[in-house]
Structure 1
Amino acid sequence: MKKVFALLLTLILLFTGCGQEEAPGESSSAAQETVSGSSQTQRPQVDTDNLPKSPEATQDALALPEVLATSEEGYEVIALTPAQYDMECPLNRGGFRGFLQMDYFQAKQDGKVAIFSPEGELLSDYIYDDNEDGWGARYGYITLKKEGKYGVVDLDGNQVVPFEYEYAWPANEDGTLFEVTKQDKNYLVNDQGEQVLELGDRGSGYEFDELDGTYASLKNGVLQFYDKDLKPIKNVACDEVRVSYTKKDRVVYSTGGKFGILDSYGETILAPVYDDIDYFSGDYAVFTQNNKKGILDSNGEVAFDAQWDDIYYYGPFTAEDGQEQTPSASFMKGDQWGVATDLSSGQLLVEPKYDFIGRFGRYYASIEEGGKFGAIDRQGNVVLEPVYDTAVESADTNLEEGYLTIEGTDGPFSAGIIDTAGNMILPTDNYIVFASQQNDYNLVLTPDEKWGYIDNKGQFVIQPKFEDADRFAGDTAIVKLNGKICLIDRDGEVVLSTVFTDVTAYNPETMVFAAQYTDPEGRSKYCLAKFVMPVMDKY
């Protein structure tokens, strides 16, 4: 019932290769995949003088075909390195694979790792250990490991934190403070590598948080507040602290077994009087008193009294199209559930009468009654009677009003699309990956393991025929067709077809990719390449 049908995932685009002489036994004609209206002679103008210098080819580098892709006018693939690397990203997120977005690139040779910038420039020798944390940067800094010790470099490859710690990671958005662990003690160091604050022993329950305009450090039963220059502001007795990623001006804290609320400077908003207060999400948090639950606002005022046996609070979020999604909360009394959508009113939209009510999407929330499932709208009206054997949802989708997902039985993420008249638009034996923008195409994997695209009414706009695919970004999407990486437009036409068999990762700002090439003998290596495409205004 509480399953989320669509996984979040990464964005898109692509890839390609490294210009060298033809591989033995492979002529340039091998790259001539069928491309609608393709042209080998018309290419976008690219300032190759500003491309990073290509590393030297090693003995085991694979020779790539002279022609790396066929394409429509305006699309191109530019080689940045030889095809000589192992560039398998260790990150395994499960679910939909897609094509990973990365902040930088790692290339492995002989068990050691070198790093490349987002532009594809080689930044280091092969001196780093394999990074099991993926290829992401935090606040523009990369945590790496060298000879078993952790340090931090920036996206230009410059060392910021020396490689002498058991772990190290950026601690503030400015990139001026880093949290490190050494001999089971935790410290803050600055961007000069100097220790500026002792935090606490590993396992001691210490915590360090960046707040709105300040920092807070919990150590040995004291919550210490500091200004941005790490000068002490205030100390508060504290056993536990809870700071939300989305609400940095409020600190939930406990002392003596009771919970209260502080602002980001340590001033009391609410004295510790409740048995529990959850993390804030937006302007509200769930609290507990005498084994009953209620909801507080960020000023410590009670929005809903503590009279409920359970509360599921679903905080607000802003969709990529800018539409604000208001919070809602489901309330349980006995074994029945109701729901509120205007938390400031303190009133329920629907009194407890269902076996469960889920989170509202843009238009609807799922309901469960007697083991059957249906949906209500934001006015509390039933739009789908609870007659379905599997959960009906509208949260985490971009479907138009009048359409919902219905859970399938062919695996944990199988789903279909149903309208509020009860018509099954898309059967439940599909797997749907919803786009982040409301008017965008959504990916569907059909039972015969082909990917296609549907609109936000569940109708196919690009028929399923791809072995792999990703969501659209602008006017194009990266797919795999006949074993090769391709670009398609919004009509489903292939506008670029490459010689590459896979894409490990790409940087969405620079359009540099880690691309896999497999030669005629079946040997595979990776290279970095840059994907160039025309500026279009169709989308």
Structure 2
Amino acid sequence: MNVGKKLYPVKLNGKYGYIDNTGSIVIEPKFEYAEEFIDNIAVIGIGDNFGFIDKSGNILSTQEFNDVFESREGYTVVDVNGKKGYVDETGKLAIEAIYDDANGFDEGLAAVQVGYKWGYIDKTGKFKIEPQYLGAYNFSEGLALVQDGGKLGYIDKEGNMVIEPQYDSAYGFCEGMAAVEIKDNFGYINTKGELIIPAKYSMVNDFSEGLASVEQNNKFGFINVKGEMVIPAKYDWADNFYDGIVTVAIGNKYGFIDKAGNEVVPIKYDNIDFFGEGLLAVEVNEKWGYVDEDLKFVIEPIFDEASKFDNGIAKVVFDNRIRYINKSGEYIWKVE
């Protein structure tokens, strides 16, 4: 069995199978559809329906599903005859498909809809919080955003309303802070519902690594947890920090800055991905290629799309066809 080995979906003669990072077929193409593996199972198409396989290509359940949705914490949301349920890591239906809608699991609980009301179940399928909300979102840092009476508030895992519904728009908690809208502007509250950073921004993102991007006067900058603007608002777009760097844009050009606001990758590319195994996918003149850490092209920009390297392999699109390349830019798979 190929447990622990990364496999890649490919299409051959109209059917999907899987290759390894040498380009060798390890699961014969015989499916109508195939997705990448999450842990040790993958979604595949069987006729007009969906199922799950392991890394040996074994179909894990005789039951087929009408649709497959998000996978979180070892459970995947599936559709059976218009109702939602959950498949576990064995590929079998572990929580019966009886819900009108369902979200993925977070912190051991999942929001599900029965009729017009939302509540939360645990991984046995039992209700921990009975359906009672007009809207319900995933738990984060022990709290979940819910809609009650036309406003948004926050509950704990026992269903206690710890921050009363009072917001027209709000985000989940990240690093102890949540963005909320007050009088058409956004600020941040703590887990007690106290407004820590005044609502004075037109757009905001979640806190990540101690900083959050905010929009002020039509430009994005970054504030710290005290609400201090530590990176000036001069960008036309900004993402969240990850591993000490963040993607930003000026006009239609993208690059990376660090937490001091220094450009670590110049803001000059048409688009940009993330570093993977020492190489960075960048777009120049509507084509993607790869630069090294010295920002020199090691794989010329010839691709329509490109993803970061993982296990020595990257998925690219060339001439509207999916390919896989190695770090020398050589195709390990290009037959469809």
Aligned match of 1:363 in 142, 145, 153? 142
Instruction: State how 1:61-460 maps to structure 2 within 5 Å.
Output: 212-220=5-13, 222-226=15-19, 229-235=22-28, 237-243=30-36, 247=38, 249-278=40-69, 280-313=71-104, 326=107, 328-340=109-121, 342-343=122-123, 345-386=124-165, 388-395=166-173, 397-398=174-175, 400=176, 403-407=177-181, 410=184, 414-430=185-201, 431-437=203-209, 440-446=210-216, 451=221, 453-455=223-225, 459-460=226-227
Question: One-letter code of the match for 1:263?
Answer: D
User: 1:249, 1:334 → 2: CA distance?
Assistant: 34
Q: TM-score, normalised by structure 1?
A: 0.40
Instruction: State how 1:464-503 maps to structure 2 within 5 Å.
Output: 466-468=232-234, 503=267
Task: Tell me the secondary structure at the aligned position of residue 159 of structure 2.
Answer: coil
Structure-2 change in CA distance of 1:295 and 1:474 (3 Å) = closer
274-283 vs 254-263, which deviates more? Answer: 274-283
User: 2:234, 2:13 → 1: CA distance?
Assistant: 52
Gaps of 5+ in 2: 249-256, 279-293, 296-336
User: 1:253, 1:327 → 2: CA distance?
Assistant: 26
Structure-2 change in CA distance of 1:263 and 1:452 (3 Å) = closer
Question: One-letter code of the match for 2:212?
Answer: N
| Cα shift readout 1:98-125 (whole Å, capped 9, x = no counterpart) | xxxxxxxxxxxxxxxxxxxxxxxxxxxx
1:278–1:287 CA contact under 8 A, matched in 2: yes
Structure 1 residue 280, shift from structure 2 partner:
3.6
Partner of 2:320: none
Task: Tell me the secondary structure at the aligned position of residue 392 of structure 1.
Answer: coil
Structure-2 change in CA distance of 1:212 and 1:351 (3 Å) = farther
| Cα shift readout 1:362-396 (whole Å, capped 9, x = no counterpart) | 2311100121111112333211122x14133324x
Structure 1 residue 298, shift from structure 2 partner:
1.6
User: 2:244, 2:90 → 1: CA distance?
Assistant: 45
Partner of 1:75: none
Structure-2 change in CA distance of 1:230 and 1:390 (3 Å) = same
Partner of 1:10: none
* Larger CA Rg, structure 1 vs 2: 1
User: 1:472, 1:371 → 2: CA distance?
Assistant: 33
User: 2:8, 2:241 → 1: CA distance?
Assistant: 40
User: 2:207, 2:36 → 1: CA distance?
Assistant: 30
Higher relative CO (Cα under 8 Å, sequence separation at least 6) belongs to 1
Question: One-letter code of the match for 1:218?
Answer: K
User: 1:473, 1:360 → 2: CA distance?
Assistant: 21
Q: Percent identity?
A: 22
Task: Tell me the secondary structure at the aligned position of residue 152 of structure 2.
Answer: strand
1:443–1:454 CA contact under 8 A, matched in 2: no
Question: One-letter code of the match for 1:242?
Answer: E
Task: Tell me the secondary structure at the aligned position of residue 273 of structure 1.
Answer: coil
Structure 1 residue 308, shift from structure 2 partner:
0.3
Give me the CA root mean square deviation.
4.3
Question: One-letter code of the match for 2:224?
Answer: I
User: 1:273, 1:435 → 2: CA distance?
Assistant: 40
Q: TM-score, normalised by structure 2?
A: 0.61
Structure-2 change in CA distance of 1:250 and 1:472 (3 Å) = closer
User: 2:45, 2:132 → 1: CA distance?
Assistant: 35
Task: Tell me the secondary structure at the aligned position of residue 313 of structure 1.
Answer: coil
Structure-2 change in CA distance of 1:404 and 1:252 (3 Å) = same
User: 2:16, 2:7 → 1: CA distance?
Assistant: 13
Gaps of 5+ in 1: 1-210, 317-325, 480-486, 511-528, 531-539
1:452–1:465 CA contact under 8 A, matched in 2: yes
User: 1:338, 1:330 → 2: CA distance?
Assistant: 6
Count of aligned pairs: 259
Task: Tell me the secondary structure at the aligned position of residue 391 of structure 1.
Answer: coil
